[in-house]
Chains A and B, each alone.
Chain A
Amino acid sequence: MQHINAADRHHIRVQHADAVIAAGLIEAFAREPSLTAVDGCAEAADLIVCDFTTGLALSQSARSVDGSLRPARVLVLTGQDREYSVRQALQSGVHGYLLTDATLDELLDATRTVLQGRRFVSPQLAARMADSMTREALTAREIQVLEQLATGDGNREVARRLGIATGTVKTHVNAIMTKLAVTSRTHAVSVAAQRGLVDLSQRILH
């Protein structure tokens, strides 16, 4: 193992809500001489490895400070493998997105990539995102309509809620069904839930 200069040493902060994952991360980083990891402490760090919710909060707050200090990079480690979540995280400025079933090599690969200033997404997720790009993407409005459909609303309610004409809703629904290659509204909702195209979590719990 080669000698590591202090300057090459990277400081990592582990801020993960799950105790088991946090302990696993600390243990994994402890095996790497070039990395120093601490658990949930406010010390200056080059990289913060955290859960999904923390990652989103951190990168959003880093944004609002408008960059006088170079904020730490954020690597999210999560079990949320839905396309929607990955998009949401990357759009809010998260640098790396890794699934909790990652191998230790993948973790180190992701860590180094993000420390070098590049983005990282779990290979399985990258494959899936690539796959979804071969399909026609839904527009923002279509996603809104789809989310309303998931609540069980009819065209008229959807129209009222989004402030558009019923005819327009019908057009959106037809476009959605064509893009998802399904023949019914029910199937569209089911496919959307499986692929994680929409966020169903808040809307349908009673």
Chain B
Amino acid sequence: MTSIEPNLPVRVGVLHHHPLVALGLRAILTAQDGIQLQASGSLPQLQAWCDVMVCDLETGIAATRDRSNMGMLGASARVLVHTESASDFHVRHALSVGIHGYVVPGTSAAELLQGVRAVAAGQRYLSAAVAHRLAESLSYAALTPRESDVLTGLSGGQCNKLIARHLGISVTTVKAHVNAIMKKMSVESRTQAVSVAAQRGLVRIPSVRAHHSSVPSGAR
């Protein structure tokens, strides 16, 4: 759907895998002027019925994938995600796959409504906290994909030699990457680079909650 008639209500669907968040989203979105909340349904049903879907990150990514697969075939809902992860990695990924809105916990009801309306109108919307985070990430130079690979290796506790072997490059190249990473992150040691990366969410660290008993491979 490319445009919304000004006097037609925005049809909104909620599909969030955290029950309490889903309940809260519905409670806020229901009985709002200009918003028509759809009953719960499956992802394809909601996509067909709604202008905007408010989802968790995974569902949102799945929904945009369907949306692009559908192409010109039919009107399909735009996606606003409500998720706890505001890491660079996730925000960039979400925007790059075509998610229109990104809000995190701490977002007020007014912000959420503003987000839904903006997304319905085809605009991108980031809640204040996400926008702030993204702005901050622009203040330092982005790492190249190869530098990210090296940083991931460092975070796993690998030494230069191991990283070199895994990536199929020479130890000297690894050293050059590590120096470039430290310079970009304005840190003075490898350890600090890993710590800053964990903080900013620059590398994908396996979710601890998902595998609570696992120890990183190198530590077994």
Contacts and interface: CB of A to CB of B under 8 A. Distances in A.
A185 B191 contact: yes
B195 A152 contact: yes
B125 to A, nearest CB: 15
B6 interface: no
B36 to A, nearest CB: 18
B20 A104 contact: yes
A193 B197 CA distance: 10
B198 A19 contact: no
B205 to A, nearest CB: 6
Interface in A128-181: 128, 131, 149-152, 154, 180-181
B104 to A, nearest CB: 9
A31 to B, nearest CB: 9
Interface string B187-201: 111111111101100
Contacts of A189: 191, 194-195, 198
Interface string A24-47: 111110000000000000000000
A28 B23 contact: yes
Most buried by A among B20, B84, B106: B20
Contacts, number: 155
Contact of A149 (B159, B191, B193, B220): B191
B195 A191 contact: no
Interface in B3-43: 17-28
User: Main SS of the interface on chain A?
Assistant: helix
A182 B219 contact: yes
A91 interface: no
Nearest to B17: A101
B24 A23 contact: yes
B212 A27 contact: no
A194 B218 contact: no
A180 B23 CA distance: 40
Contacts of A102: 18-20
A25 B208 contact: no
Interface stretch (A1-9, A54-62, A68-76, A198-206): A198-206
Contacts of A128: 208-209, 212-213
A184 interface: yes
B57 to A, nearest CB: 12
B20 A100 contact: yes
A200 B199 contact: yes
Contacts of A196: 208
B219 A194 contact: no
B186 to A, nearest CB: 7
B137 interface: no
A83 B134 CA distance: 27
A188 B192 CA distance: 12
A187 B156 contact: yes
Nearest to A80: B84
A19 B195 contact: no
Contact of A20 (B107, B187, B190, B220): B107
A81 B216 contact: no
B179 interface: no
A68 B172 CA distance: 68
Contacts of B186: 206
A203 B99 CA distance: 32
A109 interface: no
Contacts of B157: 182-184, 186-188, 190-191
A127 B159 contact: no
Contacts of A124: 209, 212
B21 A152 contact: no
Most buried by B among A77, A102, A151, A190: A190
7 contacts: A24-B24, A27-B27, A100-B20, A104-B20, A104-B23, A124-B209, A151-B192
